[in-house]
Structure 1
Amino acid sequence: MERAMEQLNVQLNRLTRSLRRARTVELPEDNETAVYTLMPMVMADQHRSVSELLLNSKFDVNYAFGRVKRSLLHIAANCGSVECLVLLLKRGANPNYQDISGCTPLHLAARNGQKKCMGRLLEYNADVNICNNEGLTAIHWLAVNGRTELLHDLVQHVSNVDVEDAMGQTALHVACQNGHKTTVLCLLDSGADINRPNVSGATPLYFACSHGQRDTAQILLSRGAKYLPDKNGITPLDLCVEGGYGETCEVLIQHHGRLFQTLIQMTQNDDIKENMLRQVLEHVSQQSDYNYQCILTSLAEVATTNGHKLLSLSSNYEAQMKSLLRIVRIFCHVFRLGPSSPNNGNDMGYNGNKTPRSQVFKVCGCVGGPELWPLECCLWRPLELLWHSLDEWLVLISTELEKNGRGATASDIPSLLLKQREVETSHLHVSMATESTPATVLRSSPPLLGGEVMVKPPEVYADGQDVISMTANRLSAVIQAFYMCCSCQMPQGMTSPRFIEFVCKHDEVLKCFVTRNPKIIFDHFHFLLECPELMSRFMHIIKGQPFKDRCEWFYEHLLAGQPDSDMVHRPVNENDILLIHRESIFRSSCEVVSKSSNEKLKQGIAVRFHGEEGMGQGVVREWFDILSNEIINPDYALFTQSADGTTFQPNSNSSVNPDHLNYFRFAGQILGLALYHRQLVNIYFTRSFYKHILGIPVNYQDVSSIDPEYAKNLQWILDNDISDLGLELTFSVETDVFGAMEEVPIKPGGTSIQVTQENKEEYVQLVTELRMTRAIQPQINAFLLGFHTFIPPSLIQLFDEFELELLLSGMPEIDVMDWNRNTEYSSGYDLQEPVIQWFWEVVENFTQEERVLLLQFVTGSSRVPHGGFAYLMGGSGLQKFTIAAVPYTPNLLPTSSTCINMLKLPEYPSKDVLRNRLLVALHCGSYGYTMA
């Protein structure tokens, strides 16, 4: 019986071994192959399979494989395979083995937060103080990822919590940089050095501020961290401002009050980005009314100091001008955010503390003594001293100009300026003595305006004009600052009454400035562009400047603030492309433009016609060209042809089209876009419509474009005495009202007011306005609504109606000599080649229409820009008309690359062949794009 049982056990054991062999892969004998067999099992923590494979195997558990030379223990620690990790450790795996980067299994477990693996490795004597090749220890990895729970377990095994990596950074540095609050507290409680610098002198506080870690910075400062710069002198505050970290700046100022003044002084540093500085000051100011008032008061003081330096003829104009305007911009930005701003609150007549705004303006105008000043006006008090200096300067110059007109000299100016400076200085001392400023600021630094700001008096002026040449730019910059401050106290879109009064008071001096240097308007007198009432006083000076200069000013300010971009927008996705159906170009264009962002359309335009592959500058130009023709298509009834047969104006009966006002708005958008991107349109309007765009009143002579006979009658009335003619005219006209003729007054009670010799000019003007404006007012308004989306009224008024036509439509005639003179050649052609000479002879004999077709074929536009072919635009700016050689084959037609204004002209054997092939190409290939 016993013998039988032994035999059964033997059989069972054999069966078991047989089954095991049947389901288990035998481990290869060489380590390289074996490790790749085991690695997937280790990664999946299949410890039973790994154990069976390693049983009776000669595999070296410390075998390092792969490029980084890691062992299976590294893999287990990295993946969190605890059972396999223990199995390997029991079989003799080295817990301190370092891979090619110097990382041990403990490093990898710490980096990935594998708590159980870390615990097991420590049980098997893993060394927590080993550094990898970059000097990082396990606690560095825990600090990077904020594994505070694991760090608590690890620090008790660490001999030096301040061990440095290759850059001298400790775990505390990296924890502060990444904002791990609990980790920072753990390290500090474990004895980490709170002020330890790295190799560049950066402390943990420096690291916290460099990444805007407010809470981490708060912990460090509350534990006594010192405010220290790095070896390059960069401070934690510098880093906060550079990154726009307002919350962290606030913490720094709370612990170090003197930094408030440092922050204010940073507004004068051109190396600091203005938007970041504004972001920081914005945050700090919004924490309390006290902060808001302190910031504005301090900014006002700094601005006043810089303004007085700017008025000093011995100072650097460019630097002081930029500094003053920068500070004032920041001041105005912060002011608009607070309760004192007119843009906050429901009652626009009151500020946040319900002080009547009229009272604020009176106080800011120096009416009454300081005891009458409300708190809001204290914010502006330092600036009032600067405005007072500005006023004194302008009065002095006005006086000297008058003296000069009488033959006197300007000898009084030096003594007057010194006297003025003494008065200002005394005012400054009084102001600073009574100013409400933060106690910490007053204790930590002297008053900003406590010292006298001396002005070097002019030496000798030959006449008043020399006074202007030396002071105009400086005073103009201060005037700009004054305007900015006045504007930020007013609701959006309103011009300050005080500033209007200022301009009127100093009208003659300011006109003298503009006459001597018209660019002052665009450099400093922005108020003229923004306030038509003021611009009208200077318009005659502006209109007297060369058209080319005004065009440059126009585009300089039209594109101000837009990011640099090519003329054609390079879209990042299909949604940025205007996909147009050629067969319904007007309606499909209207639809896609209405759905597009105006800001994206300003940045650039990308057009593709449905079913065509081409895209680029040439396609954009063709789109504008075709679309401008569609706008005047009679089918849409938007515009009607004028009496001269070549120009168009809005159709007074356009309402037959129910969508006519939407279409007029779209037409305005297209013309505005074309002008914005310097594209020409193939359409000419009547002079009166150009005047409507410019906001210029029409006159009776404009009537001739729609009714020449009626215009002659008006002219006759003006030229002759109508007293005894018995015309029996009244201030009314007969007009068609829904099919019936009715007498409509052109002024209240007009049907009973007789036209006389005395009032006939008024009658002619009113009749003109009725025919030319009131009859199409809704259409004009809709068009201008679209046009002004892209072209501000303030800028377009720089031109008259004739110049606007040139801007929009280019020159109506094509000058072949100018074309020839401004053409370039490539690929072997030059002006002496027979083919080129034949080409110009053919073009010379072309009709004007054929020349237009050729221009459109090569450039995508049928118009020449103002200034001629020298100003032809390409895909990336100015690009002259170019003719490139192409080898000739029979029946080969010319082709073009419209993006670069290039005509690819084959080397034809004769002039007749060239002319024939060119005409075929022009009449058959002017429209449509595909990829060559």
Structure 2
Amino acid sequence: ANHLTLLDGALAFLMRRTTIVNFANRRDWLRLKLDEITRGIDRNRFFGHARSGVIRGFTAKHSDPWNSFTRWVWRYGVEAVKRSPLCYHLRFVGQPAGGPGVERELMDVLASAVTGARTESNLAGWEPESEDGDVDEDGFERLERDDDDDDDARSAGGGSTDLGIALLRPTSDGLAIYHPPPLPSPLPRRLEDEYTALGWLLGYAILHESPLPVAFSSAFLKALAGRADAAGWEDVEEMAPQTARGYENVRAMTDGVDALALTFSVEEEEITVPEPEPGGVFGGAAGTRMIETELVPGGKMKPVTDANVEEYLRLRVAHDVRRVTRSAAVKCVRAAMNDVVPAEYVRMFTAPELACLMGGTAKIDVDEWRANTIYEGGYDADSPQVRWLWRLVGKFTPEERTLLLKFVTGSSRMPAGGFAQLQGMNGVRLFEVMRVAAGWTEGGGGGGGGGG
């Protein structure tokens, strides 16, 4: 770690030069800095004993994981996510198991919840969930909504649910790339609280190497990294490819731009939010309206011509990007994320690198997986059953490998460091293949794999 110490001292100025200090070294440097935040945590304390401390554990509902999380995190504040991994505090209703595998499952269902990807079909097969009582026999709180009795709108949660919107939405139809929708500024308090909770969750994902499997737009990522000024044409191409092609078609016109009847103004959709009722609950669903924004003073009356079309396109692209990077929701998420991971650390990374730190790696390298696997119960790397296993996994499609990873670890993605950084209750725990007796089952959650 000597070279990392130098990067924190005499050579600190090199950290933002990504062509000199590669991602792996900057990630290791970040890990050392974040360990200073988490140092002193008793990682041997199992989640069931959280009730004896300041922070009580919580029971999440598969049918409403986001509100379960936001009520808990607002009750205890940002220190709850900085202090220790969620696996110490979490379990699902109707499932006594806890641990890293259950935490990874929570991150997956939270990702679906904040992007609006959860449907009734996602929930098929779950056992009915009991909602009786505020604290179960193990000291885990059932944080259900009760807007009539709860004077604190923050602990009530549910703003986006009441409005019928997702906190993150696809940048364009048919794309699985997400950022916040166009919301009014300033944000209503309840939505501001939810975006704050989302920022804390993203900071948590980095701090505790617990991926939130969402593909974020590059413009959103650049804003979070404090690199909004670097956003431009390539970001529009990514988040709105049809719009970008339209701009290219306008640029390609050698004459006749005047016939398009364009002006230096933009008409676009904005989400409208009804006034909250007493207690902060929204009285209805969100709506939409069309707004017009001038790209220059008097832009509504300034036509786009062959002579000024390049100026128009430059301003239009800048507007499209700023609508994301300078939105109230993005500013809220960034400020909250920096409560967990300081801004000066985040600025050391590019947008793709930050995506990896928050969301893990989606591509599964079978050779890397195999190299970071340990064997127990009489198995070793040369056992016939082990060779059969890796031969089969090597033949899987990418989708099948993702499903296998989800089955054995609880997550469809790996931490930024790959399989070598797979987390267990006591820190890194490599994937494990073991021989077990027929009919044997293991209680509780685990961070590794299983064998047969």
TM-score normalised by L of structure 2? 0.72
Q: Select which of 58, 66, 75 maps to 1:595.
A: 75
Q: Distance in 2 between matches of 1:897 and 1:839?
A: 24
Contact 2:356 2:416 survives alignment (8 Å):
yes
Alignment-derived partner of residue 21 in structure 1: none
Amino acid at match of 1:764: L
Alignment-derived partner of residue 123 in structure 2: none
Q: Is 1:663 aligned to 2:206, yes or no?
A: no
Alignment-derived partner of residue 626 in structure 1: 109
CA deviations over 1:107-151 (Å, ceiling 9, x no partner): xxxxxxxxxxxxxxxxxxxxxxxxxxxxxxxxxxxxxxxxxxxxx
Contact 2:4 2:25 survives alignment (8 Å):
no
Alignment-derived partner of residue 862 in structure 1: 412
Amino acid at match of 2:180: P
Q: 1:591: how far off?
A: 0.5
Q: 1:853: how far off?
A: 2.9
In structure 2, do the counterparts of structure 1 residues 680 and 719 end up closer, same or farther at CA, with 3 Å as the change threshold? same
Which SS does the other structure have where 1:829 is aligned? coil
Q: Distance in 2 between matches of 1:831 and 1:802?
A: 34
Q: Is 1:770 aligned to 2:250, yes or no?
A: no
Contact 2:97 2:445 survives alignment (8 Å):
no
Amino acid at match of 2:378: G
Amino acid at match of 2:446: C
Which SS does the other structure have where 1:555 is aligned? helix
Q: 1:621: how far off?
A: 2.5
Amino acid at match of 1:880: L
Q: Distance in 2 between matches of 1:568 and 1:785?
A: 31
Q: 1:679: how far off?
A: 0.9
CA deviations over 1:28-58 (Å, ceiling 9, x no partner): xxxxxxxxxxxxxxxxxxxxxxxxxxxxxxx
Alignment-derived partner of residue 364 in structure 2: 814
Q: Distance in 1 between matches of 2:396 and 2:307?
A: 56
Q: 1:742: how far off?
A: 5.8
Q: Is 1:683 aligned to 2:214, yes or no?
A: yes
Q: 1:783: how far off?
A: 1.8
Q: Select which of 141, 159, 179 maps to 1:649.
A: 179
Q: Is 1:523 aligned to 2:9, yes or no?
A: yes
Tell me the number of residue pairs that the alignment of Structure 1 and Structure 2 aligns. Answer: 376
Amino acid at match of 2:298: G
Q: Select which of 251, 254, 267 maps to 1:734.
A: 267
Q: 1:832: how far off?
A: 3.2
Contact 1:581 1:588 survives alignment (8 Å):
yes
TM-score normalised by L of structure 1? 0.37
Amino acid at match of 2:195: F
Amino acid at match of 1:581: A
Q: Select which of 549, 558, 568 maps to 2:34.
A: 558
Q: Distance in 2 between matches of 1:851 and 1:742?
A: 45
Q: 1:550: how far off?
A: 0.8
Q: Distance in 2 between matches of 1:608 and 1:592?
A: 10
Q: Distance in 2 between matches of 1:646 and 1:519?
A: 39
Alignment of 1:79-90 (within 5 A): none
Q: Distance in 2 between matches of 1:580 and 1:796?
A: 31
Alignment-derived partner of residue 901 in structure 1: 448
Amino acid at match of 1:651: P
In structure 2, do the counterparts of structure 1 residues 594 and 798 end up closer, same or farther at CA, with 3 Å as the change threshold? same
Alignment-derived partner of residue 386 in structure 1: none
Contact 1:608 1:614 survives alignment (8 Å):
no
Which SS does the other structure have where 1:789 is aligned? helix
In structure 2, do the counterparts of structure 1 residues 872 and 749 end up closer, same or farther at CA, with 3 Å as the change threshold? same
Q: Is 1:607 aligned to 2:89, yes or no?
A: yes
Q: Distance in 2 between matches of 1:785 and 1:601?
A: 15
Contact 2:108 2:411 survives alignment (8 Å):
yes
Alignment-derived partner of residue 455 in structure 1: none
Q: 1:716: how far off?
A: 4.1
Amino acid at match of 2:89: V
Contact 2:423 2:429 survives alignment (8 Å):
yes
Q: Is 1:545 aligned to 2:28, yes or no?
A: no
Query: Which stretches in structure 2 are left out of the alignment for 5+ residues?
Result: 118-163, 273-287
Alignment-derived partner of residue 638 in structure 1: 167
Contact 1:857 1:896 survives alignment (8 Å):
no
Q: Select which of 325, 331, 338 maps to 1:781.
A: 331
Alignment-derived partner of residue 52 in structure 2: 573
Q: 1:845: how far off?
A: 3.9
Alignment of 1:389-408 (within 5 A): none
Contact 2:97 2:444 survives alignment (8 Å):
no
Q: Distance in 1 between matches of 2:78 and 2:27?
A: 23
Alignment-derived partner of residue 750 in structure 1: 299
Q: 1:519: how far off?
A: 6.3
Q: Distance in 2 between matches of 1:723 and 1:823?
A: 64
Contact 2:213 2:359 survives alignment (8 Å):
yes
Larger Rg: 1
Q: 1:711: how far off?
A: 0.5
In structure 2, do the counterparts of structure 1 residues 518 and 858 end up closer, same or farther at CA, with 3 Å as the change threshold? closer
In structure 2, do the counterparts of structure 1 residues 679 and 710 end up closer, same or farther at CA, with 3 Å as the change threshold? same
Alignment-derived partner of residue 192 in structure 1: none
Q: Distance in 2 between matches of 1:636 and 1:654?
A: 14
Amino acid at match of 1:666: A
Q: Is 1:712 aligned to 2:236, yes or no?
A: no
Alignment-derived partner of residue 131 in structure 2: none
Q: 1:722: how far off?
A: 6.0
Alignment of 1:420-569 (within 5 A): 522-523=8-9, 541-560=17-36, 562-565=38-41
Which SS does the other structure have where 2:412 is aligned? coil
Q: Is 1:693 aligned to 2:224, yes or no?
A: yes
- Aligned-pair RMSD on alpha carbons? 3.5
Q: Distance in 2 between matches of 1:718 and 1:555?
A: 46
Q: 1:704: how far off?
A: 2.8
Q: 1:756: how far off?
A: 5.9
Which SS does the other structure have where 2:316 is aligned? helix
Which SS does the other structure have where 2:390 is aligned? helix
In structure 2, do the counterparts of structure 1 residues 642 and 729 end up closer, same or farther at CA, with 3 Å as the change threshold? closer
Higher share in helix: 1
Alignment-derived partner of residue 464 in structure 1: none
- How much identity, in percent, do the aligned residues show? 27
Alignment of 1:11-160 (within 5 A): none
Q: Select which of 581, 585, 596 maps to 2:65.
A: 585
Alignment of 1:181-196 (within 5 A): none
Q: Distance in 1 between matches of 2:291 and 2:66?
A: 37
Which SS does the other structure have where 2:17 is aligned? helix
Q: Distance in 1 between matches of 2:354 and 2:363?
A: 17
Contact 1:607 1:623 survives alignment (8 Å):
no
In structure 2, do the counterparts of structure 1 residues 842 and 663 end up closer, same or farther at CA, with 3 Å as the change threshold? same
Amino acid at match of 2:404: L
Contact 2:258 2:303 survives alignment (8 Å):
no
Contact 1:637 1:657 survives alignment (8 Å):
no
Q: Distance in 1 between matches of 2:307 and 2:44?
A: 58
Query: Which stretches in structure 1 are left out of the alignment for 5+ residues?
Result: 1-516, 529-537, 907-932
CA deviations over 1:166-192 (Å, ceiling 9, x no partner): xxxxxxxxxxxxxxxxxxxxxxxxxxx
Which SS does the other structure have where 2:432 is aligned? strand
Alignment-derived partner of residue 449 in structure 1: none
Q: Distance in 2 between matches of 1:598 and 1:701?
A: 34
Which SS does the other structure have where 2:340 is aligned? coil
Q: Distance in 2 between matches of 1:736 and 1:844?
A: 46
Contact 2:81 2:200 survives alignment (8 Å):
no
Which SS does the other structure have where 2:434 is aligned? strand
Amino acid at match of 2:83: Q
Which SS does the other structure have where 2:268 is aligned? strand
